[in-house]
Structure 1
Amino acid sequence: MTVMTSTGRSLAPDLARGFMLLAIALAHAPVFVSGAGPGVLDGVAAFLDHLLAHNQARPMFVFLFGYALGQLACRHQAKGGDWISLRKLLRRRGRWLIVIGFVHGVLLVPLDIVAVYGFTLLVLAPLVRARDSVLCWTAALALAPAALVVSGPIILAYAGAVPITPAGSMPADLGSHLLSGLQLWPFKTVLGTIDVVPGMLLGIWAARRRILDEPERHQTLLRRVTVIGLGVALIGRLAGALLMAGVWTPPAPSAAVLAHTLTGYAGGIALAALIGLVATRVEGGPFTTALAALGQRSLTFYLFQSVVFLVLFYPFTLDLGGELGFAEASGIAVAIWAVSILLAEWMRRAGYRGPAEVLLRRLTYRHSSGA
């Protein structure tokens, strides 16, 4: 029997999105600080972050985005909707995601992926109904270019061409921050589409088979993906993690960075599979319910993280970026996630949906009878 939340939703996708926000916070928070300090704790935190979260949280996020698209398409078809109306719905959703992502990337932090999702929907909406073979082959062909797009700036950073983290180049005032966001946002949004394609298409494929909606029926597949994916990720990302943590410089740093990114796709999808397995065994206890509530409001709390990062780290706010190391930034990330769980559970009990989710749904469906 499929494990469901109190709202009638399948548990595993919501748990995965709730856990995903921890991975995203751990990947993003250290980006805003000056880096690992001389202490052992900072070095260990930096190594674990680069091994487990950095360039692995994003593929998980993207896979779950594709899974949500697949769920949307299946629901639309089940209600008797045709392809033309679905395509209009997806592109309308894409346009509003671009608007939300623009506000996020310009006003808050330059780590936006929401607009990338929107632009990808506008460009690649037909792939939502593509044959399984087309989804899988396109994902495979896009994997190498996607890894190059992500790895390129990191390789340049270690070559000394660009700052390794924004901490050394964050704008000193709000005006410069907005101007920088306006200049970088279009380039990052368009280029980021390449990075999104592999995980998104695999997510659509998985949603068609209800792999996370009915994880008890797919336990063998989920176990294999978890064991193989995490094994590949841990082995393939080890050298890159040691390099980025400043522990060891491998003979071929560029190759280590590329392998770190490439195998991160396997690790991100494996983490989603692991949560699917967990969902078949957990009871509906307080923590499970609260984590699922967070997953149901993932867009809202993704934006919430960025608000906190802006307030804490930028020179024109509290300016903690130059004072903290990796361990402290990671602690802040965990604290943000814990507060997010508490807020999401409070919203669930009070009957409030995530404001970002409500806004996106109203904008998407306001010209449609499918609300």
Structure 2
Amino acid sequence: MPTVPSGSVQAPPPAQVRALAPDLARGVMLLLIALAHAPTFVSHADLGPSALNSVSQFLKVLVADNLARTMFVFLFGYGLGRLAAGRFAQGGDWPSVRKLLRRRGFWLLVIGFLHATLLVPIDIVATYGLALLIMAPMVRARDSVLLWTTAISFVPATAIVAWTTVRAHAAAAAGHPESLPSLMKDDFAGQLLLHLMLWPAKVPGMVLLVVPGIAIGIWAARRRIIDEPELHVVLLRRVTVSFLALAVAGRLPMTLISAGVWTTGSTWLPAIAHTIAGYAGGIGLAAAMGLIAVKIGGDRGRLTTALVALGQRSLSFYLFQSVVFVALFYPFALDLADAMGSAAAHAIGVAVWSLSIVLADWMRRAGHRGPCEIALRRLSR
């Protein structure tokens, strides 16, 4: 018999049919990522209809900034927990599971490096890889260790994100908004060189930001909370209602400040509230996907099936978004960074996500897994 870590909950053998909620959540998550990223590729957010741009920016700060990442990180931690539990249930011991996790972490680091250098410098995949290399033992840690890790790392992570929010707001107020066009070069070689210079400083600093979400995701995975949402309806309902309410209330002040509706001497408190509420919102949305999965049950419609197909290929289509954005906005491609404002950029983000759904569903019907998922699985063996 394999030795199962005392701090973990041994799960039954993985089911033949994948759980609905995690993949549905990943499919929706990609929309939030597109909404968060797309406007960063335009030079002048206010170009075009002012009313549409104002609404666009308002929604971005309220529902996407620092919330999409939390949902992404939580689901990543949840996936790690389920992966480890599945291997233990199949008879694997800790040394073999540790090797699997570290190989996966290494290859995620490589994929993220290629993404951040060849495409765009707003990668999260390499951060996951480095975090996994460091945090692999957490999949067998006691529940108390996971919860304390979440609580302790949450404080500096919140401070760092709040600081970046304050800095970004100050830059925008001074007329120099932080955006990627300021880093865009006229040729690919120059862009590649710049990305190579930026990458080493970015990844280590980002690791701390993902630790709370990964740890609480592993904790939730042990209980199969969104794999078996029908067994946790009361908990999911409480988390959905309370966390999403906190997300709206906590994120509204910074949203109003960013929209110019409200002014205050210091933005530190609104930025901290915005960050904390972003963590709550990301987890609340994941919980909401669990409730939706219970409501859907086995009666999946075409849209649900397509969204699930997208969620099953989330890594591939996360990178696909970057390919499209490079093709549209960079000077050595179509060079549209100066041609539109935030509303148009958001429209492109929604269009890219919609196209991703269509392509993912076509891949499902054709029996094709995501290319990045295939590569990661083969390289991690």
What TM-score, normalized by structure 2, do the two folds share?
Answer: 0.91
SS at match of 1:98: helix
- Which residue identity lines up with residue 36 of structure 1 in the other structure? D
1:100 aligns with 2:100: no
How far has the Cα of 1:163 moved from its partner? 4.5
- Which residue identity lines up with residue 345 of structure 1 in the other structure? D
- Which residue identity lines up with residue 194 of structure 1 in the other structure? L
- Which residue identity lines up with residue 242 of structure 1 in the other structure? L
SS at match of 1:324: coil
Q: Which residue, 71, 77, 83 being the options, matches 1:66?
A: 77
- What percentage of residue pairs aligned between the two structures are identical? 58
- Which residue identity lines up with residue 148 of structure 2 in the other structure? W
In structure 2, relative to structure 1, the CA distance for the partners of 1:167 and 1:254 (3 Å cut) is farther
Question: Is 1:294–1:345's contact at 8 Å kept on the other side of the alignment?
Answer: yes
Q: Which residue, 150, 159, 167 being the options, matches 1:156?
A: 167
CA distance in structure 1 between the aligned counterparts of 2:331 and 2:159, rounded to whole angstroms: 31
Which structure 1 residue ranges, 5 or more long, are not aligned? 1-5, 366-371
Question: Is 1:149–1:191's contact at 8 Å kept on the other side of the alignment?
Answer: no
1:273 aligns with 2:284: no
CA distance in structure 2 between the aligned counterparts of 1:107 and 1:61, rounded to whole angstroms: 22
Aligned to 2:31: 22
CA distance in structure 2 between the aligned counterparts of 1:319 and 1:169, rounded to whole angstroms: 13
How far has the Cα of 1:39 moved from its partner? 1.0
CA distance in structure 1 between the aligned counterparts of 2:165 and 2:371, rounded to whole angstroms: 34
Aligned to 2:19: 10
SS at match of 2:232: helix
Q: Which residue, 240, 246, 261 being the options, matches 1:232?
A: 246
Q: Which moved more, 1:237-246 or 1:205-214?
A: 237-246
Question: Is 1:58–1:268's contact at 8 Å kept on the other side of the alignment?
Answer: yes
Q: Which moved more, 1:335-344 or 1:122-131?
A: 122-131
SS at match of 1:159: helix
- Which residue identity lines up with residue 35 of structure 2 in the other structure? L
1:43 aligns with 2:54: yes
- Which residue identity lines up with residue 293 of structure 1 in the other structure? A
Aligned to 1:174: 188
The correspondence of residues 123-162 of structure 1 with structure 2, limited to 5 A, is: 123-160=134-171
The correspondence of residues 73-112 of structure 1 with structure 2, limited to 5 A, is: 73-112=84-123
CA distance in structure 2 between the aligned counterparts of 1:244 and 1:90, rounded to whole angstroms: 40
In structure 2, relative to structure 1, the CA distance for the partners of 1:319 and 1:244 (3 Å cut) is farther
Which structure 2 residue ranges, 5 or more long, are not aligned? 1-14
Question: Is 1:15–1:288's contact at 8 Å kept on the other side of the alignment?
Answer: yes
SS at match of 1:87: helix
SS at match of 1:112: coil
Aligned to 2:7: none
Q: Which residue, 4, 7, 32 being the options, matches 2:41?
A: 32
Q: Which residue, 295, 300, 303 being the options, matches 1:287?
A: 303
